[in-house]
Structure 1
Amino acid sequence: MTATLSKIMIDEKHILQNLYSLYLHDLSEYTDGLDISPNGSFEFDSFDAIWEGEGMTPYFLKVEDTIVGFLLLLERPFLKKEYDFCINDIFILKKYRRKGYPVQFLQELFSQKKGKYFIIELVKNEPAVLFWKKIYQKLNIKFEEQNKNFDGDDCLIQTFEI
């Protein structure tokens, strides 16, 4: 099956908003900084900013024509000049995890977007930490890692160049 990235258009933002709620629900297990809103969903507080300026590009992750997740890529001018890209968020529906699709999605991204990357993960989010370590191994990416505290959460920052 073919796994591809598809840039999300503004008329599809409601789909991304639904996926973000699922993603933030999963992430809430690892941080006290996320709570359900009064309307019963988890909300990304800067969601509308994705379409308001330059430097944030959302992609659907698709297998054949089925949306199985999303990726939010940050780039210049949104980022400081020491980095070209940040994979800010990546989410894959549980049904499609552990099937090799992330490697295909990231290979496509890295073939299109070459430069210096950074990734930030919550230390408590062991599945994400393991996910990225496996990605680096499978794609033969040499990375540097450091610990840092953001908003009261211990995080890992990994940097690498493609």
Structure 2
Amino acid sequence: MTIQLKEALESEKSVLRNLYSLYLHELSNFTTNLHLSEDGVFHYEELDDFWSVDGLSPYFITLNEKIIGFILLLERPFLTKSNDYGINDFFILNQYKGKGLAMQAAKVLFEKKTGQYFIIQIVKNERAVAFWKKVYLELNIEINERQDLIDEELCLIQTFHV
């Protein structure tokens, strides 16, 4: 099984929009800041910015060329401080979870994009927290971790270099 990251093109915006709604639905289990819109969809209002703001980089995670998730990577010039990259969003469809595919996607990303990273997880999202801790352990990545309130949610903020 071959995991790859494929840049999400603006012509594929509707696919990413649909995946984002699923991602936000999943995140709504851990925060009160996300709400279903009147049309029955979780909307990510800034989605159009991905193709107009330098440094907002959406990637599809593909398995044998089939889309199974996405990553929104923040990079320069969008990031201006000490980090080269930030993993803003990382999502795998439920049917592909627990098979090591997300770990493979993280490895592919870190091989393609080396530098200083930050990742933020909502503390209540125990599955995401456990996943990233497993990534750091398996890839022998030394992290600095702190907690902070972001949008009134207690979050873990991890920084590291790959």
Take 2:7 and 2:76, find their aligned partners in 1: how far apart are those partners? 17
Partners of 2:14 and 2:124 in 1: CA distance? 29
Aligned partner letter, 1:145: E
| 5+ long unaligned stretches in structure 1 | none
Q: Secondary structure at the match of 1:71?
A: strand
Aligned to 1:154: 154
- Distance in 2, matches of 1:94 and 1:133, equals 20
Listed as ranges, the matches of 1:100-139 within 5 Å are: 100-139=100-139
Residues 122-156 of structure 1: CA distance to partner in whole angstroms, max 9, x if unpaired? 01111110110011111111101000001110000
Give the Å deviation of 1:81: 2.6
User: Residues of 1 paired with 2:65 and 2:42: CA distance?
Assistant: 26
Deviation of the 1:80 alpha carbon: 2.2
TM-aligned CA deviation for residue 102 of structure 1: 1.5
Q: Distance in 1 between matches of 2:138 and 2:85?
A: 20
SS of the residue 1:33 aligns to:
coil
| 1:86 and 2:86 aligned | yes
Find the aligned partners of 1:2 and 1:149 in 2 and give their Cα distance. 37
Please state how far the C-alpha of 1:107 moved relative to its aligned partner. 1.4
Partner secondary structure for residue 80 of structure 2: coil
Give the SS at the match of 1:31: coil
Q: Deviations over 1:39-73 (max 9, x none)?
A: 11001121111111100110110110211000000
Could you say which residue in structure 2 is the equivalent of 1:8? Answer: 8
Tell me the distance in 1 between the aligned counterparts of 2:84 and 2:32. 30
Query: Does the aligned pair in 2 maintain the 1:103–1:138 contact within 8 Å?
Result: no
Structure 1 residue runs of 4+, over 2 Å off?
none
Task: Report the residue type matching 2:30 in the other structure.
Answer: Y
3-state DSSP of counterpart to 1:5: strand
Corresponding residue number in structure 2 for 1:55: 55
Identity %: 49
Q: Distance in 2 between matches of 1:157 and 1:139?
A: 18
Q: 1:30 and 1:106 mapped to 2: Cα distance?
A: 23
Would you say the 8 A contact 1:103–1:139 is kept in 2?
no
User: 2:70 corresponds to which residue?
Assistant: 70
Q: What is the alpha-carbon root mean square deviation over aligned residues?
A: 0.7
**For residue 24 of structure 2, what is the aligned residue in structure 1?**
24
Aligned length: 162
Structure 2: which 5+ runs fail to align?
none
What TM-score does the superposition give when structure 2 sets the normalisation length? 0.98
